[in-house]
């Protein structure tokens, strides 16, 4: 394993043995209709609270990923997972029955790239507040991935890039795309420079949930940095919903947004060879209601994973 200041190239890349994606009924009626392992009905799927519903989604995604990998919980060495509820309770309560050694993660919406639904940072559903056009719709979704040894699965994790905290002094909680885009630029350009690659070396450069506003900013800054994306960029916040038909404004967001798109669609295309080399960059806004009320800006972070189908022969060096 080679580590060049946050860019890690794996000598023996782990592979993906199983994965699963679940979503709410609104997400299931978007562009990825029919691709989820399970669709949860309504905002709470019969549970007494949003929190219980989120735990239920996490648990199902984890169990389904294990089932597809042909493994039981006691065969798993460690679980990395997280969410955006207070103290990650969606994850803690959701996974407690599996009895797997557990490391909780908080990376805001970048959590999927660190590990394998957000409510706290938005007004509650029943509030009914009017959202500006820069706002994004918090996805009701979850995703889970089981990792094993090299080539045991059909997709390998060739490399990773740990993002830095980047703050462009954005203070508008309804403009997360603008807050996170600079962090995505930093991570992608760092990876390109370290690996001596560029956009044309990959089939897809997939960001987490920049939405329409953040995606436009990303493209503009990458052009100025001398690393144009050349039509290779896609964003999970734009792939999960149909902005013309569904009232999501700038697109989707939340921990489950990138997790669900990756596990419902992108990994399948890597397995079948429709995609060969993908950079998955989950983006997160590292804020809290308290910090926002105190007038603090919204720092961003973006973590990158280089995924390659086994039929590919790429090299991180």
Domain boundaries, the chain: 2-10+153-309, 15-148
**3-class secondary structure, 87:** helix
Could you count the other beta carbons within 10 Å of the beta carbon of residue 139?
31
- Give the C-alpha separation, 140 to 117, whole Å: 6
Could you count the other beta carbons within 10 Å of the beta carbon of residue 165?
12
Using alpha carbons, select from 192, 193, 243 the residue that is nearest to residue 215: 243
Would the CA dihedral through 88, 109, 155, 194 be positive or negative?
negative
**3-class secondary structure, 31:** coil
- Give the C-alpha separation, 24 to 36, whole Å: 10
- Judge whether 2-10+153-309 and 15-148 match in fold: yes
Tokens matching residue 312: 């590919």
Tell me if the domain spanning 2-10+153-309 has CATH number 3.10.20.520: no
Cβ atoms of residues 20 and 143 within 8 Å: yes
Burial class from Cβ neighbours inside 10 Å (0-12, 13-18, 19+) for residue 278 reads buried
List helix spans (H) across the chain. 25-28, 50-69, 89-95, 111-114, 176-195, 211-225, 236-239, 255-261, 267-272, 289-293
Domain 15-148, architecture per CATH: 3-Layer(aba) Sandwich (3.40)
**What are the pLDDT tens digits along the chain (317 aa)?**
666 788 999 999 999 999 999 999 999 999 999 999 999 988 788 899 888 988 999 999 999 999 999 999 999 999 999 888 888 888 999 999 999 999 998 888 888 887 754 334 444 455 455 566 677 778 889 999 999 999 999 999 999 999 999 999 999 888 889 999 999 999 999 999 999 999 999 999 999 899 999 999 999 999 999 999 999 999 999 999 988 888 888 888 888 899 999 999 999 999 999 999 999 999 998 888 788 889 999 999 999 999 999 865 555 66
Cβ atoms of residues 42 and 140 within 8 Å: no
Bridge partners (DSSP) listed for residue 204: 278
Cβ atoms of residues 56 and 75 within 8 Å: no
């Amino acid at each position: 394993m080679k580590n060049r200041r946050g860019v890690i190239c794996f000598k023996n890349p782990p592979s993906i043995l199983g994965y699963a994606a679940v979503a709410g009924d609104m997400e299931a009626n978007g562009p990825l209709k029919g691709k989820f392992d399970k669709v949860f009905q309504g905002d709470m799927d019969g549970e007494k609270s949003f929190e219980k519903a989120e735990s239920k989604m996490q648990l199902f995604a984890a169990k389904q990923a294990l089932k597809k990998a042909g493994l039981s919980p006691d065969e798993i060495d460690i679980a990395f997972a997280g969410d955006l509820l207070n103290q990650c309770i969606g994850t803690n309560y959701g996974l407690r029955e599996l009895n797997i050694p557990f490391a909780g993660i908080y990376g805001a919406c970048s959590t999927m790239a660190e590990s394998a639904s957000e409510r706290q940072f938005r007004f509650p559903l029943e509030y009914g507040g009017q959202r500006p056009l820069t706002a994004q719709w918090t996805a009701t979704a979850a995703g889970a991935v089981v990792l094993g040894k090299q080539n045991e699965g059909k997709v390998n994790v060739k490399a990773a890039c740990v993002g830095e905290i980047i703050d462009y002094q954005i203070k508008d909680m309804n403009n997360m795309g603008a807050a996170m885009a600079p962090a995505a630029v930093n991570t992608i350009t760092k990876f390109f420079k370290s690996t001596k690659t560029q956009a044309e070396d990959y089939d897809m450069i997939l960001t987490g949930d920049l939405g329409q506003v953040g995606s436009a900013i990303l493209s503009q800054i990458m052009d100025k940095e001398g690393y144009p994306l050349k039509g290779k960029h896609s964003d999970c916040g734009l792939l999960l919903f149909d902005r013309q038909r569904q009232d999501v404004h700038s697109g989707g967001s939340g921990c489950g947004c990138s997790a669900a798109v990756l596990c419902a669609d992108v990994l399948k295309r890597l397995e079948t060879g429709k995609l060969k080399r993908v950079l998955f960059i989950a983006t997160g806004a590292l804020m809290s209601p308290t910090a926002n009320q105190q007038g603090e800006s919204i720092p961003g972070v973006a973590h990158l994973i280089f995924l390659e189908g086994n039929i590919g022969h790429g090299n991180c060096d």
